[in-house]
Amino acid sequence: MKSKIPTIELRDGQKMPLLAFGTGTAWYKDDGKGPFNKELKNMLKHALDTGIRHIDAAEAYGTEEEIGVAIRESGVDRQELFVTTKVQQGISDIPRAFEESLAKLQLDYVDLYMIHWPYFAEEDAELQRAWNALEAIYKQGRAKAIGVANYLRPHIEATLKTATIVPMVNQIEHHPYLQRANDYVPWLQSQGIRMEAFSPLTPITEAQDGPLSSHLMKIAAKHNVSTGAVLLRWQIQKDIVAITTTTKKERLEDYMKVGSFALTAEEMKLITEVGLTYHYRSWGVKRFAPDDRT
């Protein structure tokens, strides 16, 4: 029996699964254009067979072609899927970049189209022009939702000055050791902007020496799941989409257990509070001061 992953509703009523299979990190192609990866295609087909319905892509990952083939070969109804991709290299000509992504994905539309990061812009007007291009795609119905990734509050505020559509999603690094300072997450949610978390497993991958390790093991043992499943569930219970990936089928099947258990209020509080005593940033380290938690 396939696991059932909970969903969250976007402003237009669209349902977004709270667990996504990411095709960056372990599957990322250094030049974004490497040869077709049959292993990724097969892993995606296994993920879909296991119950995954949310796939996260980007032109920068170089994995859109594999996703398109996997979806076609899986036989899963397109209406069941939530497919995300992002624009980065093609930011100067977003309409063209979008067409190229659709062609690689072999899709007529995507469920979510995002600006991959804000650092292409030297002034607010560039952020605003890019967002205007996404709004046009959304109004055509070819992206069911639009959003941004790696945006801090100043980037969002600059975008909102001219936006007619508020970004529906912001995908940022988020985990117990980087919960974002200055109430950024509550502010996003107050604007109706849903959160997606990449690198949600950082406390057990890159920051294993942090103070949560023993707590996570105890919680995992209690629920008869892995520490990874506990971290993913912590995000989900905060109504944050957890984006993770793996090259191992058994690990994916373990992550899928997030739909079969729930953390108690005390466990949620413990993970949050202990996590706040430690700081670790996985992505974009050179862009931030060592103790910058924004």
- Residues labelled as active-site residues: 61
46 assigned ligand-binding residue: no
Angle at the Cα of 230 from the Cα atoms of 228 and 235, rounded to 5 degrees: 100
- The residue type of 69 is V
Euclidean distance between the first and the last CA atom of the chain, given in angstroms as a whole number: 41
Read off the tokens for 28.
């990322």
Q: How far is CA 165 from CA 53, 87, 133, 135, 138, in A?
A: 26, 18, 11, 7, 9
102 sits in which H/E element: helix 94-105
Pairwise CA distance, residues 16 & 55, whole Å: 11
- The residue type of 283 is W
Pairwise CA distance, residues 208 & 218, whole Å: 15
**Which of helix, strand or coil describes residue 198?**
strand
Pairwise CA distance, residues 147 & 183, whole Å: 20
Angle at the Cα of 79 from the Cα atoms of 74 and 85, rounded to 5 degrees: 80
Please tell me what DSSP assigns to residue 143: B
Q: Is the distance from CB of 96 to CB of 133 less than 8 angstroms?
A: no
**Chain centre to alpha carbon of residue 34:** 22
- Binding-site positions read 116
- Binding-site positions for substrate read 116
